[in-house]
Amino acid sequence: MSLEVSARVVERGVDLSFSVGTGETVAILGPNGAGKSTVLSVLAGLLRPDEGRVVLDGRPLTEVGGGRAAVDVPPHRRGIALLAQDPLLFPHLSALDNVAFGPRSGGASRSESREQASGWLERVAVGHLGDRRPSRLSGGQAQRVAVARALAARPDLLLLDEPMAALDVDVRPALRHTLREVLAERTTVVVTHDVLDALLLADRVVVVEDGTVVEDGASADVLARPRSAFAARLAGLNLLAGRWDDGAVRLGAGAVVQGRVVGPAPAPGDSVLAVFRPTAVSIYREPPHGSPRNVLDTTVTHVEPRGDLIRIRSDLISADVTAQAAAELALVPGDRVVLSVKATEVSVYLH
Amino acid sequence: MTTRARTTGLPGWIFVPATLGAVFVLLPLVAIIARVDWANFVPLITSESSRAALWLSLRTSTVSTVLCVLLGVPMAVVLARTEFRGQGVLRSLVLLPLVLPPVVGGLALLYTFGRRGLLGETFSAWGIEIAFSAAAVVMAQTFVSMPFLVVSLEGALRTAGERYEVVAATLGAGPTTVFRRVTLPLVLPGLLSGAVLAFARALGEFGATVTFAGSLQGTTQTLPSLIYQQRVTDPDAAVALALVLVVVAVVVIGFARQGRGSTR
């Protein structure tokens, strides 16, 4: 099943398009309010765009143009199942009957749909919980049942809206593992904040910012070589945008960053990106002398713990230093500092 | 013993009017119980006219409760789940019987379904006389009790929200399946307590009933009508029957509270 989407929703400032190949899992990443959930609502038929098209496996589901809806298939005939953060299991039905709901609505007999349901519960490793009411399930168990319920409806397209956001951190890995198994070969769109979801669940990543697609590529590529500030932040990388000038990246403020060019060589004047890890950045109170390093003058904005390191965030980039180094520098927000990074640590590529 | 959070910031004087209010409501109940002629209680409530009125009241109240459910549930769903122009005005009008004096309601019904009423003439032509029949009792009761069910159920529907219905639709369930298998079961407690309230209101209905249906023993004389009639001629019987209605009311409130308790 392949999916083609284009949608403009004026009220929410969304105007984007992307596609999903047959059996492919695409992660939609983006900051809050970027329009990710709006896209899912349009796909599921819960929100009619001002203009747009949704075509699933050659079947038009939404076709709106010029304020007129030529096609608008209702949600229950779309073959698109939606799994939200909140499992939303029907509280009056047992786990098994929740999962059997889809097959039953699809016309299967009671016993047949229960049989299918118990198979799906097995697949998501909660086969023993079929008799339980949703109120007697833990958050992780309930979300597994919700996954089984969505799959049991045999959707042509599965939508996941931050499926693990509401769960305890320690139950996420196991559920992510289960999802990875059941999503293989299944056409899926997953909205997420979590870089691990993007890496482990998705084949491809679509980054949405301010209602438009700013990046679209294989998960590993996007995270290794982000082209948007959001993807860079997700990947834990510093990203500086500038123009290629005399063998270096010239930033807006006149600063210049040297680095290793990755991929096709840029021509003078091309818009390029410089990307490097926060751990590669050193911090000084005074400009260092005589080292072949890139040097940036900036102001500290945040000082926060990050694992066993301290992350110093500045106007431009972040630096991760050891707690000991941070203590010696005694930095507080507002301090002027000099950040430096070796040219060999910086990847430069075309925007 | 369970620990209870301490109430903070409640002024001490507030308990005085609160207590006064409670006494004002409860004292009449005590007065009526004190006035009951216990020696003749059983014969009084089992006299022929009493049994006829009680039986009629139970029958008509049951039928009108069923009618309230059949018509009120769709009304509540439409009010809670759709948006259209003039919906606010329509909701107020539908709930009008809640605040309308029952006598006025009875009069309105009379001018609609009475012999010379808006629709009554047509019905008369078909040989159907509604006014002053048991059917009129049911209609009067339905008219005044429907808003209780609609208000109660609309509240339950709004509290339940549409999230489960959306999930059900994305699982392939059509609107009728969603209504039957998700919407209704989710608001069942609200529906039950609404139906119980409607039944209680129907059982106590007096003003609209006497105006539209009269008070004929065996056909249209309900328990409240009988009590009203006998309060002068046979006060002991009136008090005994009144106690029966008090007991029924207490039981009903117990049911309604239970229904509401299990919604959360």
pLDDT at site B262: 45
Res B4 pLDDT > 70: no
Residue A105 and residue B174: Cβ atoms within 8 Å?
yes
pLDDT at site A41: 93
* Minimal-distance CA residue of chain A relative to B173: A105
pLDDT at site B10: 85
* Per-residue pLDDT tens over the stretch B34-47: 999 899 999 988 88
Instruction: Name chain A contacts of B169, Cβ cutoff 8 Å.
Output: 74-76
* Per-residue pLDDT tens over the stretch B226-253: 999 999 899 999 999 999 989 888 888 8
pTM of the predicted protein model: 0.79
Best of B162, B166, B167 to substitute, by most chain A Cβ atoms within 10 angstroms, is: B167
Best of A42, A43, A76 to substitute, by most chain B Cβ atoms within 10 angstroms, is: A76
pLDDT at site A122: 93
Res B264 pLDDT > 60: no
pLDDT at site B118: 85
B198 pLDDT band, cuts 50/70/90, is very high
Residue B168 and residue A101: Cβ atoms within 8 Å?
yes
Residue B171 and residue A44: Cβ atoms within 8 Å?
no
Domains of chain A are 3-230 (3.40.50.300), 236-350 (2.40.50.100)
pLDDT at site A291: 64
Q: B183 to chain A nearest CA, in Å?
A: 10
* CATH T-level topology, domain B39-261: MetI-like fold (1.10.3720)
Q: Is B173 on the interface with A (CB under 8 A)?
A: yes
Q: What is the ipTM of this complex?
A: 0.78
Mean pLDDT of B192-209: 92
Mean pLDDT of B71-97: 91
Res B263 pLDDT > 50: no
Residue A88 and residue B163: Cβ atoms within 8 Å?
yes
Domain ranges across chain B: 39-261
Residue A76 and residue B167: Cβ atoms within 8 Å?
no
Residue A80 and residue B170: Cβ atoms within 8 Å?
yes
B contact residues 82-111, partner A, Cβ 8 Å cutoff:
none
Residue B164 and residue A88: Cβ atoms within 8 Å?
yes
Full 3-state SS string of chain B: CCCCCCCCCCCHHHHHHHHHHHHHHHHHHHHHHHHCCHHHHHHHHCCHHHHHHHHHHHHHHHHHHHHHHHHHHHHHHHHHHCCCCCHHHHHHHHCHHHCCCHHHHHHHHHHHHCCCCCCHHHHHHCCCCCCCCHHHHHHHHHHHHHHHHHHHHHHHHHHHCCHHHHHHHHCCCCHHHHHHHHHHHHCHHHHHHHHHHHHHHHHHCCHHHHHHHCCCCCCCCCHHHHHHHHHHHCHHHHHHHHHHHHHHHHHHHHHHHHHHHCCC
Which residue ranges in chain A fall short of pLDDT 70?
1, 67, 290-292
Instruction: Name chain B contacts of A153, Cβ cutoff 8 Å.
Output: 170-172
Q: Is B186 on the interface with A (CB under 8 A)?
A: yes
Q: Is B9 on the interface with A (CB under 8 A)?
A: no
